[in-house]
Amino acid sequence: MAKSALLGSSIAKKVAMALSGIFLMLFLAQHFFINMTSVFSADTFNSISHFMGNNPLVQYVIQPILIIGVIFHFVMGIVLELKNRSARPIAYAKNNGAANSSWSSRNMIITGLVIFAFLGLHSYDFWVPEMVYKYVDVNPLNETRYFHELAEKFESPVRTGLYCISFLLLSLHLWHGFNSSMQSVGFNNKYSRSLHKLGYAFAIVVPFGFIFIALFHHFNH
């Protein structure tokens, strides 16, 4: 009975991890779409950013849910990694993991930690200044400021490089994470192969799209 309960708990954690990951991917897709508009039209990017930044539903409902989702996904990843390691008494030196799994699958915790650190930098660059602008300095609304603030962040080659490296690791994280999530939630039918291909495409298009955006603003500022 205890073993069954433990198994159920482990499965529940994996399902929760998978669902939180899928939720974050939806946010990532939306964030990518908004940022991509900055490449084609500063006015469009400013309008969308202004709407998102001053919409009460986004600010007071969706944003807190997103923050909770990020923290939950990170903590659950650490918990599952520690659980997996404790269940493997044989050291990796005696087990050729590379023969049975990809680099991305064996290093999900590493890519996850780097991505979490990157989110800290990203929050420092954009979210913190936004909170200060609106709630500390209480500046008047300015719908035209967002594009300039975005482009300004990518003036530095160091910061741009950090963003690009983080997005490369995000690609590796998504490459394994999406398909692992599908397995965790038990999605295995005639549509699963197409969905796996969609996951691989997402893992390439979105992170490399973010890299393109960063480099575009760096070289065109």
Please tell me the distance from the alpha carbon of residue 55 to that of residue 133, in angstroms, as a whole number. Answer: 16
**Computed from CA positions of residues 59, 60, 62, 64, in that sequence, does the dihedral angle turn out positive or negative?**
positive
Reading the block at residue 52, the tokens are 């998102």
Report which of 33, 191, 171 is spatially closest to residue 115, judged by C-alpha positions.
Answer: 171
Angle at which helices 42-54 and 146-153 cross, to 10°: 100
Q: What share of the chain is helix, strand, coil (3-state, %, to 5)?
A: 85, 0, 15
Which of 8-17, 94-103, 155-164 is the least confident region? Answer: 94-103
Please tell me the distance from the alpha carbon of residue 150 to that of residue 130, in angstroms, as a whole number. Answer: 12
Reading the block at residue 155, the tokens are 């003036």
Please tell me the distance from the alpha carbon of residue 95 to that of residue 87, in angstroms, as a whole number. Answer: 14
Please tell me the distance from the alpha carbon of residue 13 to that of residue 15, in angstroms, as a whole number. Answer: 5
Q: pTM (2 decimals)?
A: 0.86
Task: Decide if pLDDT at 37 tops 90.
Answer: yes
The size of the chain, in residues, is 221
DSSP state of 93: G
Reading the block at residue 158, the tokens are 């160091």
Say if CB 130 and CB 53 are below 8 A apart: yes
Say if CB 218 and CB 160 are below 8 A apart: yes
Task: Decide if pLDDT at 75 tops 60.
Answer: yes
* Portion of the chain with pLDDT greater than 70, in percent: 86
Count other C-beta atoms under 10 Å from residue 105's C-beta.
Answer: 15
pLDDT for 121-179, tens place per residue? 999 999 999 999 998 988 898 999 999 999 999 999 999 999 999 999 999 999 888 87
DSSP state of 20: H
Tell me the domain boundaries of the chain: 13-89+115-220
Say if CB 214 and CB 154 are below 8 A apart: yes
